[in-house]
Each structure stands twice: as C-alpha cells, then as structure tokens.
Structure 1
Amino acid sequence: MALPALQEAGIAPELLSHPSARVTERQFAMLYRALAVRCDDEMPRLFSRPLRPGALKFTCLSLLEARNLYTAMHRWSIFHRLLHEDFRLDVRREGSRAVVALAEPASRPPNKPMALELMLKLVHGVASWLIDRRIQLLGVDFSFAPPPWAAEYDILYPGPVSYGMGRTALHMDASYMDQPIRRTRSELPDFLRRAPEDWLFVPFKEARLEHRLREYAAGQLPQSITGEDAAQALHLSVRTLHRRLAAEGTSLQSVKDQLRRDLAIQRLTGSQDAIAAIAAQLGFDGPASFHRAFKAWTGSTPGMYRITPPLRR
C-alpha cells in the first residue's frame, strides 16, 4: 500500500531511511490523498476508528449554516462525537482567549502525536476557512513530549508551543469566535478538492525575524548575503540581528542553509532542470559543492530525489 502511494506522490521510497530527508508540501499532500483513498480513511489509520470518505464534507456542511465561529465549533464538537471516541472536541472561552482542545479520555491509550497534530491542523484550517481569515494563534499545547520533528512546529504552529500539557489545544483571541461564517456551500467543493493543502498548510504573516530573513535571502539568490547585508535590509544592527535570531533558536547560517535546502528539493522534484543548473541558481560554485551540502542537509544525494520523475497534473 505504501509503495504505490509514495510513487504516486513522486517520493523515492529510499528516502524513508534518511531521518533528514524532506518532501515538498505538494508531495506530502499527494501522499496523504493517496493513503486516504487506499485506507478508505480520511485520517489514514491514525485513530482507532476510520473517518470514512465524506466525513469532512458532511462535517463542513453542518458548520456552514452556523451564526458565528463559536456556534460552528460547538456543532463540530457534537458532530465529532458521532464519528469516534479517541478524544472529545472541547470549545470554550477562557477570559480574553478562546481554546479549542482535543481532550483525550484517561481510560484510552494516548493517541499518536501525529494523529493529534493533524487533527489540530484540521480544526485550525477549517476554522480559518469558515471565517475567511487566517486565525493567528496565541499558543499551542500538546499532551505529549517533544517529538524528534518538534523544530518544524515553528512553521506549522506560529506562537508559543508547550509540551506535556493535560490536553492538546489551540489558543486564539476570543474575538475570532464572534466572527460570522463567510463561506457558502458553493465554495465547499473547491476546499475539499484541495484538501489537505488548504487546512494543513494555512499560510501566516508572522512577525518572526527568521521568516523575514528567509524571504529577503530568497530574493538575493544566487548571491549569498552577509550579516551586514541582512541587518541593513531588515533595519537592524548586526548585533541585534544575531541576538534575535539566537532568541528564536536559529542563526543566519541556519536560515540560509534551510532556505537553499528547501528550494533545492522543490526544484529537484518539481522541474527537469539539470542538477548543475539548480546548483548555480542556489549560489553554489559547482555541482560538487552542491552535492556535499545537500548530503549534509538531507543525508542523501540530489539524484535520489529524481528517482521518480515529477508528476504533472
């Protein structure tokens, strides 16, 4: 089951043995859809009871006629109880905050971290879609310890992330709950057709310096940037630039490396450009130095990402 799904998504199966390997958002979404079809489960075998195809559609239909987001989330909590018992969807206001929690019964084994992550992203993505606004998060709680991929949460869940909490939950400003539902039934088919992109990769406009720096560095390629260049472009002193990046748990070099890694993977999987051309586009002085850097970033060679030709749909 897994091998055909990987091939359909354009992912070389050998990458599964490399902990540092990466896939694009498009590849992940294609893999997710392929597994959902093969498993007959919209949350591919992540919970004790499958969510049969159509569960998301009829959930959303039950929410579209709600007066505001709070009413929609309350309806979802009721609808969810009809689907499975792995957790309870709990929606409440706590002062100036609104909290949407996945409360797990103590009598059941804990859910897998990835199951809770994806369900939380589904709640966040659907809620943002319903009110046609990107809901900015004040914080995220997870009931489990930090997983090996916890660093990725800075992108998936902008805002403070806490682990080992009594519940898995999203925190947002309570005013979002008063927002009216702006989507209509006619818009639902497009939303479902693009699933899971539209709920998994909800875009943000964060104030994190790391993301501003990454956007600036991308615009300068193939030239590299220095700390002086970046500081001037971002209207900071060099010292402040490095201090704030350190406070965010990163550095100038890490941001540049991660940017070039991600762009390399996108171009290797999404284009037929020669590896030498990609190396030049990313500012490397030749294919050899690109190969060395890529192997250090991902644990594999650039050619491994070319084993399955990019799909064109």
Structure 2
Amino acid sequence: MTHARTPSGFASAIVSAYHMRGMNPQEALDAAGLALGELHPDSRITADQLERLSNHAMRELDDEALGWFSRRLPWGSYGMLCRASLPSATLGIAIARWCRHHNLIAQDVELSLKADRHLAEVRIEEKRDLGILREFCLVSLLRNLQGVASWLGDTRIPLIDVEFPFAAPAHAESYRYLFDGPASFRAELTTLRFDAAYLALPVLRDDAALRQMLRRPLPLMVRQYRRDRLLSREILRLLGDMPAASADELAEKLNLSTRSLHRHIKQEGTSFQALKDLSRRRLAERLLASTPWPIKRIARECGFDAEASFVRAFKSWSGQTPRAYAVNARQGRSVHAKA
C-alpha cells in the first residue's frame, strides 16, 4: 500500500498554476483521483497521486516547471537537460552540466555546484520573487536533481542535509520523507549537501537507458534507490580493521560473492588491490609518524609477511623509504610544535 506522505500543498500549488493561466484544473485533479475540497494545508496525498497530477498538468499547461518561472519550460525541457548531462565521465561533471544548462533555460533561479574534498553542495539562488509557488519550486528542483543524479550513477545518494530560506511549513515533518535526511529552514540559500565522494562515481547510463527513463521520468523525484554504490568506502573501513584481509573474506562480511564485490568496485572506478594499497598506505603513514616501532613491526601491522615487501610497496606509494618518511614526519611535527 502506498503511504500518503506528500503534502497536499504541492497539489494546491499546481492548481494555482492553472488559475494563473486562467485554466481549469479539473481534468488534472480527476486524473490524480483528487478533489479540490480535499486539499487542506494539513492533509497528505500519495506520491503516485502527485505524479499523475503533475504529468497531466505539465502536458496541459505545456510547462514542465508547472508555473514556477516567468517563462514556460515546454514538454521535453528536462529530458533535454538529462541528454546534455548524460555524456559525462563522472557524476560531478554531470551535475555541473545540469546546473549550467538549467541556468540557460530558466533564469529565475541560478543553480550551482560547490565542492571541496569532503562536502558537495548544490545551491539555488533566487533571481526573482517566486511567489506562492516558491516552496513547491525549490523542493521540486532539489528532488529532481537528486533523482537524476541517482539515476545517472545508479546509486542511492544519501544527503547530509537540506536547507531552505523560508519558514518551516506546517508539513515540515514530511521533509524527512521527501529528502531522507535532516532539513532546516530560514537559511540564506536553498542548499542540498552530500558526501563529495559521490562526485567521482562514473555515469553508468547510456542513451538507450535514457529513452526508457523518459517514458516515465517523474518517479525519479520520489524513487529511493536501495543501493549505495560507494562500496569502496565500506571496504576501506573494513580494511582499516583487517589490513591483511582477502577479497573473499571481505565479500563474505558484506554478504556478496567475490565476483560481485570485484564487479561493483570496478563500476566505482577502482579495484580491490588499489583499495588495499590505499588502506595499507594510510595505516603505514600513521604508524611511521606516530610510533617508535621498528619497520618490521609496522610491516606486520600493515599485513605484510616480509619487511622487504613492505619497503618496496611503501616506496612505490610515496617515493621514499619507510625510514625516510618516518624521519621527515617526525621532524615536521617537531618544527610545528616549536612554532
């Protein structure tokens, strides 16, 4: 059974878009199985009802933006944005393209992507008063972008948080279902935040998949992908506790076949050996910089049977021997302490 968790205020916003155009929303309401008298501020509708209402309204109004902007976005506009983002090597490039091209077709808002090593942010700056459709517009823009990005990467992108510049609405509790993450209000800008590691994931969809998706694109706004493709992050966490673990051992812990483990991390643009090397290097650098242990013991802690093998591996990672790295690291710490 589908839960009625979507604020009916979003349906009311679509009705308002009809009234702004001097049109009758009755056919759209009938298509969604809704009655105008049922749309109270504290009532809820199902995601399916909003999808059917939106789909009918977009076609009847010939506006995929449903009245948000000063100019219509004719049917197919968001499909065009998807097509422009599709030939991207990574999700970071695809999201940046989405924002850039959206700014070309709808100048009432400006979307941008900002990122550092750890955090990615999509921001929306309002260039004009969006009026009574403001909440529906800003929520829909973020939901649409998150849905498209998740579809392009075939992954669930969990959000760190979302912020909105308006006061908390009466249905604020619904936002945890809309975004599956914490939401706050009265912020400076509309902002969606997530782990920047997702930006490096490859785009997995092709033109055939796009044509299939565009037959029914609206569920992207409500679909919750079940799988987070950042399996490599979980593997790194496990390797931190089990530096000598094999792919077979980790696959068993993750309830995957070894073949599936290798396939998934290959899709993320890496390999088990590369992840193991990265984990060992991080551990080795930490131990060399912070402990007086002999190289032989550090090699063993990092999962190496022989000191010579560890020395060769570390030199290939960092360009210097473990002993030289330890000396430089301790000297640097000493200079920093004196300063």
Question: Fold-level match, TM-score > 0.5?
Answer: yes
Residue 57 (structure 1) aligned to one of 79, 83, 86: 79
Structure ranking higher on relative contact order (CA contacts 8 Å, 6+ apart): 1
Q: In structure 2, list runs of 5 or more residues that go unmatched.
A: 1-23, 229-339
CA distance in 1 between partners of 2:41 and 2:164 (Å): 23
Cα contact 2:162–2:184 (8 A) shared by 1:
yes
1:206-265 CA distance string (max 9 Å, x none): 9xxxxxxxxxxxxxxxxxxxxxxxxxxxxxxxxxxxxxxxxxxxxxxxxxxxxxxxxxxx
Q: CA deviation at 1:192?
A: 1.8
Q: In structure 1, list runs of 5 or more residues that go unmatched.
A: 207-313
Cα contact 1:64–1:72 (8 A) shared by 2:
yes
Q: 1:22 to 1:161 in 2, by over 3 A?
A: closer
**AA partner of residue 185 (structure 2):** Y
**AA partner of residue 28 (structure 2):** A
Q: CA deviation at 1:121?
A: 0.4
Where does residue 91 of structure 1 map in the other structure?
A: 113
Q: 1:118 to 1:40 in 2, by over 3 A?
A: same
Greater shift in the superposed pair: 112-121 or 140-149: 140-149
Residue 11 (structure 1) aligned to one of 34, 48, 51: 34
Where does residue 175 of structure 1 map in the other structure?
A: 197
1:78-120 CA distance string (max 9 Å, x none): 2112201111111011341101111223xx2256111000011
Cα contact 1:29–1:195 (8 A) shared by 2:
no
Cα contact 2:42–2:170 (8 A) shared by 1:
no
Pairing 1:216-231 to 2, within 5 Å after superposition: none
Q: CA deviation at 1:149?
A: 1.6
Cα contact 2:100–2:112 (8 A) shared by 1:
no
CA distance in 1 between partners of 2:211 and 2:130 (Å): 34
**AA partner of residue 34 (structure 2):** I
Equivalent residues, number = 203
Where does residue 215 of structure 2 map in the other structure?
A: 193
Cα contact 2:68–2:130 (8 A) shared by 1:
no
CA distance in 2 between partners of 1:48 and 1:145 (Å): 24
Superposed CA RMSD in Å reads 1.8
Q: CA deviation at 1:41?
A: 0.4
Pairing 1:126-275 to 2, within 5 Å after superposition: 126-203=148-225
Cα contact 1:156–1:201 (8 A) shared by 2:
no
Q: Who wins on radius of gyration, i.e. which is larger?
A: 2
CA distance in 1 between partners of 2:218 and 2:75 (Å): 13
Cα contact 2:161–2:181 (8 A) shared by 1:
yes
Cα contact 2:92–2:199 (8 A) shared by 1:
yes
Residue 69 (structure 1) aligned to one of 91, 102, 105: 91
Cα contact 2:96–2:113 (8 A) shared by 1:
yes
CA distance in 2 between partners of 1:203 and 1:143 (Å): 27
Asked if 1:32 is matched to 2:54, the reply is yes
TM-score where L is the length of structure 2: 0.57
Cα contact 2:163–2:183 (8 A) shared by 1:
yes
1:258-277 CA distance string (max 9 Å, x none): xxxxxxxxxxxxxxxxxxxx
Where does residue 44 of structure 2 map in the other structure?
A: 22
